[in-house]
Amino acid sequence: MVGFSDSRSMGESATTGASSNYKNTVSCMKRLVGLAYDDPRAKKEMSWLNFACVPIKHGGGGPDSIGVKVQYGGEDKVVSIEAVAGMIVKHMGSLAAKNAKSSSSAATNDGGKSSDDVTNPLFPKDWVIAIPGYYTDSQRRAFLTGCEIAGIEGVQRLMHDTTATALAFGIFKDIKKVFTKEKPSRVMFIDFGHTAYSVSVVEFVPGKLIVKSSQYDRDLGGREFDLLIAEWIAAKFEEKYKGKLSGKPMDRPKTKLKLLSSAEKAKKTLSPAGVREVAINIECLMDDYDFRITLKAPEYEEMCAPLLARLNPPIQSALSETGLKPADFDSVELVGGSTRIGSVKRTLAKILGLDAESTNCGLSTTMNADEAVARGAALQSAILSPRFKVLPYEIAEYQPYPVKIAWDGDTAGGEGVEVEGSADGAEMPSNAVVMFDRGSNFPVVRRVTLRRSGDFVVKASYDESAGKFGYPEGCDSEIATFTVKAPAGEENKIRVNVKEDIHGTILMSSVQMLVEEEVKEDEEMPPADAEKKEGEEGKKKEGEAEEKTKEEKKKTKTKKVSLECTVSRPIEWSKSDKDKANEMEVSMSNADRVVRETADMRNELESYIYDMRDKIISESHLAPFCTDDERSAFSSALETNENWLYEDGFDATKSVYADKLNDLRKLGNPIALRQSESRARPQAVSNLQRAVEKYMNWLNTSEGEDAYAHITYDERSKCYDTCDATSSWMYDVLDKQGSLAQNVDPAVTVADIQKKITELNNVVSPVMHKPKPKPKKEEKKAEEKPKEGEKKEEKKDGEPEPMDTSTDDKPKEDPEPMKE
């Protein structure tokens, strides 16, 4: 939800003012994004809305898309529904950036940038966005366009919400080794949200999930239940005040909003088991009339019976498509807020043959009903992102509607359709083929090979059979038209490669012309002499290489030549359209930033006034630290600015608020400084005293010790002098400070004392920790040479020299001569 006024408000803040600013509050963007203004789906959805929708033309041609007319900054603006969707995505990114900044685990700061700035280091860089699985190609592209307009880069995937739910369910169970290859686990996921209802069947094996079927009722959601109750209340209200009302309640936007809000509260009250009735009280519903009525549970379920009956067809279609029975499922998981409605659970249990009297009617509610889709998308982003190391997990997606490719004219030359990866290139004597069938996985590239001369057209559209799979009636089935520029003259084989990408959109991967060329090759022939027997004339010496004769042979090679291809789509956003929308988004973002910063500055000024107004007269805060004249002047300034703030200054600019705040701080900061100095000074003085005592004690006790004998007399004298000077300075400033009152500026500050501690440490600590010099190493004496005439005793070869094993440190005496 996005609200427009002087600035934009999004999410919960937009919800707060939705009832009073309903004309400028846009909601349910995903129901309109990518639709043409005259699309039947769009017209049906607009009946729910209280804001004005207008057509928007595009430079790329085609039908008009949907825009929203709002008042922003005092002017009428037309904003495309795609741009509004991009605003919500960007808002989610700003919430993530704020959360990362407040988290202690954030390793990167925001660089001083706003949380909604896409260049903020904390702004998400990788995105997986969950979309309804029934989205068409134009809706998927429109969502990507909205992200592009908002400046969102790094969209890795548009993921079906049903698949995201299955991923959130399966990946953690896969880690716990719950699934086996021998017996795949089958789970039915039922997602019943505010606007749509979906049923999907998913099969799980180790390391993989396979979507087997997905069915939808895009017009069945919790809001239909709200509407039923609101219409019932309106009918009872009209019945009571018949003839006194100025119109129909449901025709008045504000009255309708009140009715829908009360209806939603009543629905939630009746949802838990055991609640049999709910009292509905609406003050000043219409024409100053209040209304009170009681809705009983049986009456509520009776009026909801047609809606409850619509829960069955998607389930039956899913069972039929997969060939499964309710008993074949390991579990049936419920997600979505509307699955909390008691009658919905009981109806689903009845359809699936479960015990409606058991806990949760036999249905499984192990997943977070509101966050399951978001968690699945986050997990997919982690799998795809190179920034995270995650175990590989394969996902087999599900194509909702069959897509066919058609070309002008019939297939010529007997060339059929080649599907990449198929065992045989089946030939189809037609000018159309279903390239991406329902249920196929994507991304995938497939191709068709044609014989063509000159330019030709290839069209992609949804097949006629798409209607039985939920494609809405009366809606344009065209996806894209590709114009291929091929050379005229002789017909050539042209291979058209069509891709369904990871987002589920159809695009032309490449177009290649296959040109056959004859290439000459030399083929080796067996030597003529090989058949000659040994001993014949011309016999060559052993080991000599034999001559080989060569024969020329022609071989055909296929050369691929890329061809140019242009594309047009039903709703085409040109580059100028996107640039214009992006300029509006940037302008709005800047305006929002100014408004936000102005509001923050105003709040800061207001908080300062209230905070200091009380502290200046409090004896336990600032009162003892200011003179009577200072207190009087400061209190007067605070009162003057408070009156100004709620009168002339209510809509002032940020700079004016900042100047007012600075003027007040000039009066208040000296007083606050005296208080902070008074409280911090005793501890600072104590730190200084301990430092002096520590160093003096060391100087007195270390003299004469061998460990400090290397410290010189001059160094010790310098340390003594520094300690004495510091001590004298300390007692001098303390005497001066003691003679001063608390309400005058201090004679010495905590910073001065800290500086003295640093100076003392810088002088004494290096001397105190001066390392003792290492002893000098004695040089080894050179080995004595024998005197002239003396011969050195030679050892016999192999005779070891005796080892001295004596441990006596005394010099050895010469042995006594041997007596005869």
* CATH code for the domain in which residue 302 is found: 3.90.640.10
pLDDT value of residue 116: 84
Q: Taking residues 131-153, what's their average pLDDT?
A: 96
Worst-scoring range by mean pLDDT, 159-173, 266-280, 439-453, 788-802? 788-802
Do 659 and 735 sit in the same domain of this protein? yes
CB 225, CB 267: distance < 8 Å: yes
Question: Amino acid identity, residue 109?
Answer: N
Residues 6+ apart with CB under 8 A from 497: 420, 445, 446, 447, 508, 509, 510, 511, 512
Question: Are residues 686 and 671 part of one domain?
Answer: yes
- Whether the per-residue pLDDT at 797 is higher than 70: the answer is no
**Do 717 and 592 share a structural domain?**
no
**How open is the CA angle 66-67-70, to the nearest 5 degrees?**
155
Residue 120 near residue 100, CB atoms below 8 Å: no
- In order of 157, 159, 198, 215, 404, the CA distances from 132 in angstroms are 13, 8, 9, 11, 22
The residues with which 462 forms a beta bridge, in sequence order, are 403
How many structural domains compose the chain? Answer: 5
**432: which 2 tokens?**
């159309």
Could you give the CA distance from residue 630 to residue 742 in angstroms, rounded to a whole number?
13
Confidence of residue 633 (pLDDT cuts 50, 70, 90): very high
Please tell me the predicted confidence (pLDDT) of residue 526: 54
User: Is residue 599 within a helix (H) or strand (E), and if so which, with residue range?
Assistant: helix 575-615
Evaluate whether 607 touches 621 at the Cβ level (below 8 Å). no
> Which residues are CB-contacts of 267 (< 8 A; sequence separation ≥ 6)?
222, 225, 226, 229, 341
Cβ neighbours around 497 below 10 Å, total: 17
8 Å CB contact between 584 and 617: no
Residues 623 and 750 grouped into a single domain: yes
Residue recorded with tokens 């010189």: 712
Identity at 385, one-letter amino acid code: S
**390 in the same domain as 425:** no
Are the C-beta atoms of residues 570 and 519 closer than 8 Å to each other?
Answer: no
Q: Distance between CA atoms of 202 and 47, rounded to whole angstroms? A: 35
Beta-carbon contacts of residue 629 (< 8 Å; ≥ 6 apart)? none
Residue 773 three-state SS:
coil
- Residues paired with 331 in a beta bridge: 187
Strand duo 492-500 + 2-4: pairing = unpaired
Helix or strand run (H / E) with residue 495: strand 492-500
Cβ atoms of 212 and 201 within 8 Å: the answer is yes
Average pLDDT of every residue of the chain: 87
Task: State which of 396, 428, 463 marks the end of a domain.
Answer: 396
Cβ contacts of 610 within 8 Å, gap of 6 or more: none
Residue whose structure tokens are 């003679």: 739
Residues 182 and 107 in one domain: no
- Token readout for 561 is 């030549």
Indicate whether 182 belongs to any domain.
yes
Q: What is the CA radius of gyration of the chain?
A: 43
Tell whether the torsion through CA atoms of 459, 465, 466 and 467 is positive or negative: positive
Residue 792 has pLDDT above 60, yes or no: no
Evaluate whether residue 792 is within a structural domain. Answer: no
Strands 185-192 and 65-72: unpaired
Q: Which of 54-63, 198-207, 687-696 has the lowest mean pLDDT?
A: 54-63
CATH for 330: 3.30.420.40
Q: Rounded to the nearest 5 degrees, what angle is found at the Cα of 476, between the Cα atoms of 471 and 478?
A: 100
**Domain range spanning residue 718?**
616-766
Q: What angle is formed at CA 147 by the lines to CA 143 and CA 148, rounded to 5 degrees?
A: 115
Give the model's confidence band at 446: pLDDT under 50 very low, under 70 low, under 90 confident, else very high.
Answer: very high
Selection from 99-113, 180-194, 535-549, 778-792 with the highest mean pLDDT: 180-194
Length reported for the chain: 820
Beta bridge partners of 215: 199
Which pLDDT band holds residue 788 (cuts at 50, 70, 90)?
low
Q: Is residue 611 part of a domain?
A: no
Same domain, 47 and 143: yes
pLDDT-derived band of residue 105, with 50, 70 and 90 as boundaries? Answer: low
562 and 478 inside one domain:
yes
DSSP track, 648-698: GGGG--HHHHHHHHHHHHHHHHHHHHHHHHHHHHHHHHHHHHHHHHHHHHH
Q: Residue 67 has what pLDDT?
A: 96
Query: What's the rounded Cα separation, in Å, for the pair 392 and 597?
Result: 44
- Report d(CA 780, CA 445) in Å as an integer: 83
57: its two tokens: 């033309």
If asked whether residues 35 and 133 sit together in one domain, one would say yes
* Band (816; pLDDT cuts 50, 70, 90): very low
* Higher-scoring residue by pLDDT: 201, 647: 201
**Domain end position, chosen among 277, 308, 339:** 308
Q: Are residues 287 and 316 in the same domain?
A: no
Question: Which two structure tokens, joined as six digits, stand for 87?
Answer: 């605003």
Comparing C-alpha atoms, which of 266, 265, 226, 231 is closest to residue 251? 231
Same structural domain, 297 and 324: no
